[in-house]
Structure 1
Amino acid sequence: MRTSRATLVGGVVGALVVVEFTSGVLQGYYTPLFTDVARHLGIQDADINWFEAAQLLLSAIVVPFMARLGDMFGHRKILIFSLVVTLVASIGVAFAPTFPIFIAAWALQGFYVVWLPMNISIIFLRARDRPNSAALTRKGAGLIVVALQAGAIIGALAGGQLGTIFEGRLWLTLSVPAVLVAVALLVVIFKVPDPGVRAGGKVDSRGTVVLSLALLAITGGLSLVRLHGVTAWVFGMVLLGIFLLWVFVRVEQRSADPLIDIAMFKRPELWPVFLTSALFGVSVLGAQGPLSTFARTDPGEVGYGLGANSATASYLIGGYVMSLLVGAGLFAQVSRSLTPRKVLIGASALVATGYFALIPFHDSFGQVLGCMIVAGVGSGALVAALPAAAAAAAPPHQTGVATGLTNTTKVIGGSFASSAFALALAGGAVVTTSGAESTAGSLSGYIAVWAICGGTAVVATIFLFAVPKVAFMSPPIGDVDGLPAADAGGAVAPDAHPREG
C-alpha cells in the first residue's frame, strides 16, 4: 500500500503540482502590475475592474461545459486543451497593443479555472481501484492546493520584483507567466498518463447554450452593479438568468445525455457540497478586495482602518494566503483522524469564526491578521476538501462535472458577493476628521461584509450536518454506482463505460 501511494503521489500528483503552482502564479502575478498595465493601455484604474468581470464571466460559462467534455472524452485531453488556450492567451496578454485585445486575451486566460477540477478528477480516477481511493484523492487534492496557494504567494512577490527589475519593458515582465504555462503543458504531455475512463454520450448543445445564457445574464447583471449601482437593468438581467436556469433544469431532465445530471443535486452527499461551494465563494472570492482597502484606510483621517502602506498590506494578504496553504496542507492529515464530513464542518466553522471575530477585533494589524489566519486555515481546507468530496461522492463517470460544479457555484457566489460588498462599502457618506468628504468605504459597510461572510459560513456549516456520516469514504473497488470492477491491469468488462484503448 505504501508503494502504491508513493507511486500515485510522486508520479501523477507530482506532475499536477506543477500545473496548480502555475495556476497560483497566474492568480497572483499580475496584481502588483495592474497600475503599470493601466498606464500602458491608456485606461483609468477603475477600468481594471473589467479584468475580474471578464474572467468571472468566462469561468462561470466554460467550467460546466469543459468538465462535461472531460468526462466524455478524457480529463487529460481537456486539461491539455485548456493549457494550450491559456498559453496562447498569456502570450496575448504580454503583447496586446490595445485594451480590447488585452481584455479578450485576459478573459481567455481564465481557462486555467478548468485545471483544478480536471486535476482532481485525474487523481480520483487513477486511485479508484485502490481500497483507500478517497483518502488518496484527499491527499492528492491537498498537495495540489498547497501548490496553488504557494504559487499565488510566489507569483505576487515575483510580479512586483520583476516589474521593478524590467521597468520600461512591461512585455518582458508579462511574458514570464506564458513561459510557466508552457512548462506545465509539457509536464502534462509527458508525465501524466490518461486514466482511460470515458462516460461516452453526446455534447448537450441545447443545455450548454441555455446554461451559458443563464450564467451570462446573472454574472453580467451583477457586474453592472459596480458601474451603475442597482438598477432595473440589473434586476431584469438577474431575473432573466434565474428563469433561464429553470429552463435549463427542464431541458436537462429531458435530455438523454445532459450537460449536468440534475439528479446529482438530489444526492444527500452532494447538494450540501455544491451549496457550501456557493456560500464559500462569498468570502474566498468576494472579501479580499475589502480586506486590502480596509488595511490601506488611514485611521487618522476617518477613525478606522490600519493605515498600512502597500508593503504592510501585502504582509497581511500574504499571511492570509499562507494560512490558506496551511489549511490545504492539513486537510488530508486531519481527514485520516476525522471523517471528511467532520473536516468540512470544522473548516466552515473556522471561516465563520474568523470573519465574525473581525467585527469587534479590527483596531490593529495584529487583530486583523489573527482573524484572517483563522478564516484562512478553514478556507484552505475547503479549497481542497470541496472538489475532493464532490469527486468521491459522484458517479465515477461524472467526476469532472461534479468537481467542476464546485468551481462554478463558487464563482456565482463570489459574483453576488463582490457586487453586494461594493454597494455596502459605498453606502453612507464618509467624512474625514477635518470635515471633508472621503473616498474610503464606510465602517458600517466593512462590518456588513464581515457579517455576511461569517453568516454564509454558518449557513454552510448547518447544511453540511445534513451530509450522511459515511459520505466521501472509499467505496468498495468496482462497486460505485454499478461501475464494473477493474481487473489487475486496470481494464473493465466490455459493457462498462467506454475507455481509451
Structure 2
Amino acid sequence: MSAPTARLGALLGIVGFLAVVEFTSGIIQGYYTPMLTDIARHLGVHDADVNWLEGSQLMLSALVVPAFAKLGDMIGHKRMLLISTALTAAASLALPFTDSFTVFLVAWALQGFYVVWLPLEVALIWARARAIVARTGQGAPSALTAKAAGVLVAALEAGAITGALVGGALVDALPLWIVLLVPALAIVVCFFVILFGVDESPYPAGGVFDTTGLVLVSLALVALTGGLSLLRLNGAGDPLPWLVVGAGLALLIPFALWELRRADPLIDVRMFRNPALWPVFLTAGLFGVSVLGAQAPLSTFARTDPAVHGYGLGTAGFTTSLLIGFYLVAMIVGALLFPMLARRITPRRALVLAAACVGVGFLLFLPLHDSYVQVTANMLLVGLGSGALVAALPAAAAAAAPEAQTGVATGLTNSVKTVGGAIASCVFGIALLGGATGAAGGTAGSFAGYVTVWVVCGATALLAAAALLLVPRQAFTDRPADLPIVV
C-alpha cells in the first residue's frame, strides 16, 4: 500500500472509531425517553419536574461548547474529546445509584458534556484531512470532512433509534437501576475507543485561554437560557423572565467588545462578518427551531385523539415511536446523501436544498395533517433535510473558518442551534397552551398552537435557505490556495 493511500486509510479508520462515539451519543439521546415517567416515580417527583432535566442539560451545553471547542483548537481535539467523555461517563455512572432528585439533576446536567463530541470530531477530522491532503496531494479536505460528517450523523441517528428501542424494552423487564447502568457502561467503552483508536489532530494552535471571555459569554448564555426557561414556566405575563432574557442579550455587548480587543479570543466574533460563515451560523439557529423545538409538539399531535378534540392522529405509543423512527431513518439517508449531492451541485446549493426540504415539509402540515400517511410523508421530507443539515453545518463551518478556529466554528453551530431550540421550545409551549382544550383538565395542546409550530418551523427553514443563497458561490469547496503548506 502506498504512503498516501495508507494516510487516507488511517483517516477512514479514525472516522470509524468516531462513528462508535456518535452511536453512543445517539444512545444517550434516545435511551431515556421511554422511561422518563419511571424515573419520575423512582425519584418521587411529579412528571412536570422532568422538564428540569432537559433545562439543566440545555444550560450546560450552552456553557461547555464554547470552552471545550476553543480548548480543542488550543491543546488538541482528541484530548478534549477524552475529557468530555470521562465527565459524561462519571455523571452517567452516578444516575443508577441515587434516588435523590437533586443529585440526579446535577448528574443529568453533567451528562450533557456529550454535546461537544460532534463539533470536536468534525474539527479533528478537518484538521487531519487538511494535513493529509497537503502532504499527499490526494483528496479534498472539505469533501472528506462532509463525507465523514454524514457517516457520523448516520451513526448518531442509528444510535438514537437503537437507544429508544432498547430502553423501552429493558425498562419493562429489569429494575430501573440496571436499566440506567446500560448507557453508562457504553460511555465507558466509548472512552477507551477514543483513547486507543483516535489520533490527535495535528498542530494545535496553542495560546492563552481567554478566561474573561468565557465568564462573560457564560453569564450571557445562563441568563438567556434561564430566562427562556422561566418564560416557559411562568408565562409571558411575568416580567421577570423578560428581564433575565434582556440581561443575557445585553451581556453579549461587553463580551463582543472584549473579544475584539483580544489577539487570541475565545470566540473570534469577526467570524460573524465572514460572508461564508454568518449565513451558516444563522441557519444553525433557525434550524434549531425545528430540529430541537418541534419534536415534542409533533409527538403530542400524533397522540391527540381526533374523536375528542377534532384534530390529531390518536396513535398509540408504539405507533408514535414508529413515526419518530421513520423520521430518524430519513435523517440518516439525508446525512449520507448530502456529500454526493454537494459534489454534483456545490455544497452551497445542497445546503439551500436541504433547508428548503425542511421548510416545505413543515408547511405541508397545513393542508396535510389528517392521516398517519400524510404526517409520515411530511416527516420524511423534513427528516431528509434535517439529516443533511445536521451533518453539513459543522463541516461547512470548519471549511470556511480560520485555521486556528475550526473547533470554535463547529462549536458555534451547535451553540446557536441550541439557543434557537430553546427560544422555539418556549414559544411553542406558550402557543400550545393558548386555547388548550380537553376533558382531562385541558391537557391537549390547541390546534392553533400546532399551526403556529408548523408555520414558524416552515418559515424559519425557508428563511435559512434564503440566507444561504447569500453565501459566495464557491464557499465550502476545496481550492489549492486554501490548503496549508505542511512540512
What is the TM-score normalised by the length of structure 1? 0.93
- Aligned amino acid, residue 168 of structure 2: G
SS in 1 for 2:71: helix
Please give the alpha-carbon distance, in whole angstroms, between the structure 2 residues aligned to 1:429 and 1:103. 30
- Give the 5 Å matches for 1:260-275: 260-275=267-282
1:98 maps to 2:105: no
CA distance in 2, matches of 1:71, 1:9: 19
1:151 to 151, 154, 159: 159
- 1:395-452 Cα distance to aligned partner (Å, 9 max, x none): 12111000000000000000000000000000114256xxx86310000100000000
Matched, 1:164 2:172: yes
AA in 1 matched with 2:34? P
Distance 2:104 2:401 in 1: 38
Q: How does 1:316-355 map to 2 (within 5 A)?
A: 316-355=323-362
Runs of 5+ consecutive residues of structure 2 not aligned to the other structure: 134-138
Using the alignment, how far apart are the partners of 2:273 and 2:214 within structure 1? 21
Q: Cα 1:467–1:430, aligned 2, differ >3 Å: closer, same or farther?
A: same
Q: Aligned AA for 1:233?
A: L
Q: 2 CA distance for matches of 1:3 and 1:451?
A: 49
Q: Distance in 1 between matches of 2:292 and 2:20?
A: 23
| Aligned-pair CA distance for 1:335 | 1.6
The residue matched to 1:164 in structure 2 has which SS? coil
Q: Which residue of 2 aligns with 1:190?
A: 196
SS in 2 for 1:472: coil
Give distance in 2, aligned partners of 1:357 and 1:441.
Answer: 20
For 1:458 and 1:173, how far apart are their aligned partners in 2? 41
* Structure 2 residue 461 is matched with structure 1 residue 457: yes
After TM superposition, the structure 1 = structure 2 runs for residues 278-317 of structure 1, keeping only pairs within 5 Å, are 278-317=285-324
- Find the counterpart in structure 2 of residue 135 from structure 1: 143
- Kindly indicate whether residue 476 of structure 2 is the aligned counterpart of residue 469 of structure 1: no
Separation in structure 2 between the aligned mates of residue 203 and residue 85 of structure 1, nearest angstrom: 20
**CA RMSD, aligned part only?**
1.4
Instruction: Please report how far the alpha carbon of residue 8 of structure 1 lies from its aligned counterpart in structure 2 after TM superposition.
Output: 4.4
Q: Is the Cα–Cα contact under 8 Å of residues 59 and 113 in structure 1 kept in the other structure?
A: yes
Identical counterparts, % of pairs: 54
Amino acid at match of 2:313: L
The partner residue of 1:216 within 215, 222, 235 is 222
Alignment match, 2:19: 17
Residue identity opposite 1:163 in structure 2: V
DSSP-derived class of the 2:333 partner: helix
Asked if the contact 2:17–2:198 (Cα under 8 Å) also holds between the matched residues in 1, the reply is: yes
Instruction: Name the aligned partner's letter for residue 132 of structure 1.
Output: A
Matching residue within 65, 75, 78 for 1:76 = 78
Alignment-derived partner of residue 499 in structure 1: none
Structure 1 residues 5 and 319 mapped into 2: Cα distance closer, same or farther (>3 Å)?
farther
Structure 2 residue matching 1:300: 3-state secondary structure = helix
5 Å-filtered alignment, 1:396-475, equals 396-431=403-438, 438-475=442-479
Cα distance per residue 1:122-151 (max 9 Å; x no partner): 111111031411110011111011000000
CA distance in 1, matches of 2:153, 2:10: 16
Does the CA contact (< 8 Å) of 2:363 and 2:455 recur in 1?
yes
- For structure 1, list consecutive stretches of 5 or more residues without a partner in the other structure: 488-501
Tell me if the contact between 1:9 and 1:140 (Cα under 8 Å) persists in the aligned partners. Answer: no
Counterpart Cα distance in 1 of 2:186 and 2:248: 37
SS of the residue 2:178 aligns to? helix
The question of 1:174 aligning with 2:176 is answered no
The Cα shift of 1:475 comes to 3.3
| Residues in 1 aligned to 2:195 and 2:35: alpha-carbon distance in whole angstroms | 31
**Residue of structure 1 in register with 2:379 after alignment:** 372
Residues 197 and 397 in structure 1, CA contact (< 8 A), matched pair in contact too = no
| TM-score where L is the length of structure 2 | 0.96
The letter for the 1-side match of 2:32 is: Y
Cα contact 1:429–1:437 (8 A) shared by 2: no
CA contact (8 A) 1:137 1:388 kept: yes
